[in-house]
């Protein structure tokens, strides 16, 4: 039997067309038609690639291909000089498009002969998977050889999208939400079933595979799988507890919001694993949390959610960056436990001994949590109609060193991956945004060896582009700046003098006094008096605030002051 595989270039052509279409319906129709024709074995990787991913969100694999390695391969294939590369990058604005243009203009003639054997979707996935698996001594050279073998056979358009997949550039405006709709249309399955399945397993590629393989019955049968993390339900902002009570019809649950890191814990008998907010497995970093779950929790099989905070010798919470040091630590954990002890607080239960609870009202889930977990492990809470009582609870949380409170609607289900107004967070800190670092400058004076001035960007969900809304150099300690420099150098794409352009991976929480109009940035906005509050290692770039959120805050300012003249 002839194995007719789909060419990778067909997927690239699809992505190009998507970048040129503004109609949401037209995009969905186009993708639905494409994935419907794929072989079953191609569907999962193709669906992920179309939205700019290679692996599921919870998958631990990383490519760890630096900008230096990418440039070395490009130089081998085209002979391009560093100053020429900068010229092409300035012309195109992104690395993928830059590679495409350079391949068109500078590719060595000898390489064109190798393009005759077309790349396929399955082959590209196989090689990318192999690159991600390479680690240890000599890994950089091995990754370089694999990447060169792939790019040497790629057309200019294929090179563009291969590079985008490797560095995480997503700018053709087709995200996971639209893909859910496309899968529903392609295989004639209600969209709400596709969305729920994806919420539960956090792998849009596998959802598409099951939709094609088993249809509606297969999708309906998909449920929570232990040790396969669920996307966390997210909270929106509220200004005061009074606003939250008003929005929830006069009664709400208020929980303490610790200044910690969110965790999702899966347990099946003696096996326990801990996942971060980004769905990363952090089990090895938190042995005392494992010990606590083993000794204190009665249920045999369960999934619970909570916060891990760092605590000082006096038992009070330590700043957020301390708990993040524990999350990043995989060696010397015992020493770290002695220096930075952590404490677990639980606030929700999603699954217990075969029963899925996400559709149950919040108050029922809280009752179930009390049945299986001792009181000292449950986050403090009150349920009230009294605004004065809610304010007093909020003030006590702040006094005890916490970040604020979260108000929860009593009948709300748990909606994985959704940021809705069933949970509202109220904090006592200045207004903040979670922004992505897209470039950084080396400093001056004693900071001249460190990347210490950061270009901060908000995400445009329509295009996948990160739009700069300001620069900031205050708020981090020297130790944190050194850590940022190490990480950003690994993510470097190119250099312009003392400025380093980086892959958009690191999220910073940034406080500011207000948002202003600005002609200096493509976004049209700039932060005034920006200050970094903390490094959000627990958040992915996709979770950063959007340009719509920036615009919303900008407009909201004029409820309190006169609108500026434009």
Residues tagged active-site: 257
Q: What region, left, alpha or beta, does residue 109 occupy, with left being phi > 0 and alpha being psi -120 to 50 degrees? A: alpha
- Provide CB contacts within 8 A for 253, sequence distance 6+: 362, 363, 366, 381, 382, 383, 407, 408, 410
User: Which of these, 171, 188, 183, 203, lies nearest to 417 by C-alpha position?
Assistant: 203
The secondary structure of 460-495 as a DSSP string is -TTT--EEEEEEE--S--HHHHHHHHHHHHHTEEEE
Strands 404-408 and 419-427 turn out to be antiparallel
Neighbours of 564 (CB within 10 A): 10
What is residue 348's DSSP assignment?
A: E
CA-based nearest residue to 204, from 217, 226, 188, 222: 222
**233: number of CA atoms within 13 Å, CB side?**
23
Q: Spell out the SS3 assignment of 424-471.
A: EEEECCCCEEEEEEEEEEECCHHHCCCEEEEEEEEECCCCCCEEEEEE
Q: How far apart are CA 59 and CA 54, in angstroms?
A: 10
Angstrom CA distances, 507 to 376, 435, 455, 547, 550, stand at 32, 5, 11, 15, 16
CA distance 362 to 262: 18
Find tokens 């060419």 and name the residue.
7
By residue count, the chain amounts to 566
Contact by Cβ (8 Å): 47, 35: yes
Measured between alpha carbons, how far is 460 from 178 in angstroms, rounded to an integer?
A: 15
* Rounded Cα distance, 510 and 430, in Å: 9
- With tokens 């500011």, the residue in question is 512
Within 13 A of 8's CA, how many CA atoms are on the CB side?
A: 28
């Amino acid at each position: 039997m002839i194995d007719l595989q789909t060419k990778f270039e067909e997927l690239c052509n699809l992505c190009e067309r998507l970048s040129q279409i503004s109609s949401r319906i037209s995009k969905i129709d186009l993708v639905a038609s494409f994935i419907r024709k794929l072989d079953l074995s191609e569907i999962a990787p193709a669906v992920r690639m179309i939205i700019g991913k290679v692996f599921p969100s919870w998958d631990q694999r990383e490519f760890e291909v630096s900008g230096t390695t990418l440039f070395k391969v490009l130089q081998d294939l085209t002979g391009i000089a560093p100053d020429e590369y900068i010229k092409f990058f300035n012309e195109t604005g992104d690395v993928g498009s830059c590679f495409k243009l350079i391949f068109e203009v500078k590719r060595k003639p000898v390489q064109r002969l190798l393009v005759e054997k077309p790349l396929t979707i399955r082959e590209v996935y196989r090689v990318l998977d192999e690159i991600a698996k390479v680690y240890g001594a000599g890994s950089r050279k091995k990754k370089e050889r694999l990447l060169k073998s792939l790019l040497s056979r790629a057309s200019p358009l294929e090179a563009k999208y291969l590079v985008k997949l490797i560095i995480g550039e997503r700018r053709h405006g087709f995200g996971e939400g639209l893909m859910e709709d496309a899968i529903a249309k392609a295989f004639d399955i209600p969209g709400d079933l596709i969305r729920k399945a994806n919420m539960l397993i956090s792998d849009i590629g596998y959802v598409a595979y099951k939709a094609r393989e088993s249809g509606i019955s297969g999708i309906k049968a998909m449920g929570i799988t232990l040790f396969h993390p669920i996307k966390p339900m997210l909270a929106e902002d509220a200004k005061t507890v009074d606003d939250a009570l008003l929005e929830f019809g006069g009664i709400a649950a208020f929980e303490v919001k610790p200044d910690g890191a969110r965790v999702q814990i899966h347990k099946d008998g003696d096996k326990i694993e801990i996942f971060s907010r980004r769905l990363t497995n952090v089990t090895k970093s938190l042995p005392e949390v494992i010990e606590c779950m083993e000794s204190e929790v009665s249920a045999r099989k369960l999934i619970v959610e909570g916060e891990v905070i760092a605590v000082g010798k006096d038992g009070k919470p330590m700043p957020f960056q301390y708990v993040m040091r524990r999350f990043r630590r995989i060696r010397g954990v015992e020493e770290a436990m002695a220096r930075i002890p952590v404490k677990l607080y639980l606030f929700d239960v999603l699954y217990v001994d075969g029963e899925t609870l996400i559709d149950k009202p919040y108050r029922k889930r809280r009752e179930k949590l009390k049945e299986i977990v001792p009181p000292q492990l449950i986050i403090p809470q009150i349920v009230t109609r009294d605004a004065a009582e809610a304010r007093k609870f909020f003030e006590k949380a702040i006094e005890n060193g916490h970040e604020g409170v979260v108000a929860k609607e009593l009948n709300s289900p748990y909606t994985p991956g959704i940021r809705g107004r069933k949970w509202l967070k109220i904090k006592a800190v200045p207004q903040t945004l979670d922004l992505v670092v897209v470039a950084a400058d080396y400093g001056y004076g004693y900071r001249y060896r460190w990347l210490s001035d950061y270009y901060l960007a908000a995400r445009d969900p329509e295009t996948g582009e990160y739009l700069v809304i300001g620069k900031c150099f205050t708020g981090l300690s020297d130790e944190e700046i050194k850590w940022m420099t190490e990480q950003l150098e690994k993510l470097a794409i190119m250099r312009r003098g003392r400025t380093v352009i980086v892959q958009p991976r690191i999220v910073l929480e940034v406080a500011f006094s207000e948002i202003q109009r600005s002609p200096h940035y493509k976004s049209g906005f700039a932060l005034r008096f920006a200050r970094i509050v903390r490094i959000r290692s627990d958040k992915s770039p996709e979770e950063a605030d959007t340009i719509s959120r920036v615009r919303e805050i900008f407009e909201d300012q004029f409820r309190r002051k006169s609108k500026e003249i434009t």
